[in-house]
Structure 1
């Protein structure tokens, strides 16, 4: 079985829009995911054919919600989703990838080095342990936990001012409702569910955006 991940015409068009002249780097990242990423258990073999649509592009379009030159902390980076896709799409961003598991951190370091991503720092630890070391403008997360607990992992990294962007599924509105009190207690001023990538993806990405301060 070949691990070459082919882009469909639609994916190719979206990828060019999102990554521009860094598309080749994004393709190399996808190869890492399909080979060593799968071998080391960062994602299952069933995900390989859907890497572009379901994972990489789904995450990368979130870059459109982030201010120029921002410092972004990605919580529970795992296979670099969304952290590495954002670093690839937006070289102007300063990305800090936060990941507690050593084997995942080792893989992230390898990929960052191979792709020559100078705008990325990998930090091993749990988000709540790194609050004193990270002061971000934006905090991102995908498939980490429900919003009730995710709010407590992301909002403190903003130190009173910034934005949380949590990639969520169809239950986003329900999660927002359940987490409303926790978010307010942590300093969240406005929480909304937005979609991105409507113009280039067949299935747009749903994001919970929390403005803090």
Structure 2
């Protein structure tokens, strides 16, 4: 589980490296290699913008890894539209107990993910395809949790995500300050799709300067769908 001691509020003189070592524990070196890979190979391949490099730790790796607070030990996780591996790879590094599958449709991104995973000995599966494709659902479906970050509006995201989780499985969508507005805008459509128990949660509130905002929804049994 997490290696973070969460006693009291985060210090004013927040140190990202100290926080990273706390979050990733004895797997910090793998996280460091991922950081270096994104800052070099990721930029060269067009997976990460050059302006993102100075804030890779805080805005990307740590922002993603802390959602492990919402995932129980040993659960299966599917990360849709994984891109450069966010949030799936930081989550897999911080939580080796999880069974993580990355779903990514673009070849160049899928190749990058597979190369990094293999070279660093991560137990992570990469599935190339779109989340809504039947082949992807067959290969990656039935998970406990589906994650996403900056992929699509909430309604579309639910259409792609819910078929990948079992009943009572959870959709965890990393969102920004517009999370509440998205829920209100798409609430009726989400209910029709079978997404219920909507919540807006914050992760890493005691260790990050800016907590990660997550929209959580549960896939309801069909008999309870409205």
Normalising by structure 2, we get a TM-score of 0.88
Deviations 1:129-157 (A, max 9, x none): 11222221000000001102111111111
Aligned 8 A contact 2:16 2:58 in 1: yes
Is 1:133 the equivalent of 2:139?
Answer: yes
Consecutive unaligned residues of structure 2, counting only runs of 5 or more, are 1-12, 221-226
SS at match of 1:210: strand
Aligned 8 A contact 1:194 1:209 in 2: yes
Give RMSD over aligned pairs. Answer: 1.2
Equivalent position of 1:157 in the other structure: 164
Q: Distance in 1 between matches of 2:19 and 2:183?
A: 29
Aligned residue pairs total 205
Q: Distance in 1 between matches of 2:14 and 2:170?
A: 34
CA displacement at 1:185 relative to structure 2: 1.5
Q: Distance in 2 between matches of 1:66 and 1:186?
A: 23
Q: Distance in 1 between matches of 2:126 and 2:138?
A: 16
CA displacement at 1:13 relative to structure 2: 2.0
CA displacement at 1:70 relative to structure 2: 0.6
Is 1:49 the equivalent of 2:35?
Answer: no
Aligned 8 A contact 1:156 1:186 in 2: no
Aligned 8 A contact 1:151 1:182 in 2: no
Aligned 8 A contact 2:14 2:209 in 1: no
CA displacement at 1:181 relative to structure 2: 1.6
Consecutive unaligned residues of structure 1, counting only runs of 5 or more, are 1-7
